[in-house]
Each structure stands twice: as C-alpha cells, then as structure tokens.
Amino acid sequence: MSGDRQDDEADSLAGLADREGWRVEGPAARVHYSGATDRYSIEFYAPSECVVYWKVPPDESAHETAVPVGRDTVPTPLRERIREDLDAAGVDPEVERLSL
C-alpha cells in the first residue's frame, strides 16, 4: 500500500472519529444507532472503502449475536445519516451504496 493511500485512510478514519458517536478501531470506524425498536452497528472499513450494517439484538442480555443485514432493510434516515458522516469525513458518500 502506498504512503498516500495510508494517509487517505488515516484521514478518513480521523474524520469519522470527529463525528458524533463514531469510534475508530484499527482500520475501521464504527457507530451504533438505536431507533424505536431496532439497534444497528455500522462499520466503515477504510482499506476496502465499504460500509457494513449489523442488526444488533434488542436486548443486551439476550444470547443472540449481531448479524449483517442488507441495505434495503436499514431505515432510509439512518442510511442518509451515514452518507452525511462519510461526506463530512472526506469519504465519497457513494461507498455507502456499494454492495459487498
């Protein structure tokens, strides 16, 4: 990986770390969202520039595990917020729409 690419990744992660709720862990940044009945963990992976949505069990004491979910199951306002955060961090917000 070139130095410029590493610098771009570091900049994008730092930009997300400055956004409300985001935290950086290695080459990824994560934010958690709780709606009226749903909970999600959203991860942005800098090396591959991809976003993954995870549905989190509604009860923290449950013995269920978070599972990846398709974008079409994620509320539109949440997806819009993620694109806004990516854009503010200097990441092309279109990466949110990419399928894995």
Environment class of residue 43 by beta-carbon count within 10 Å: exposed (0-12), middle (13-18) or buried (19+)? Answer: middle
* Integer Cα distance of 59 and 46 in angstroms: 30
The first and second tokens of residue 35, run together, are 């709606």
Tell me if 44 sits within 8 A of 86, measured CB to CB. yes
* Integer Cα distance of 36 and 31 in angstroms: 17
pTM, 2 dp? 0.86
Q: Is 85 helix (H, G, I), strand (E, B) or coil?
A: helix
Q: Which residues are registered as beta bridge partners of 20? A: none
pLDDT tens, 28-44? 999 999 887 889 999 99
Question: Would the pLDDT of 5 be above 80?
Answer: no
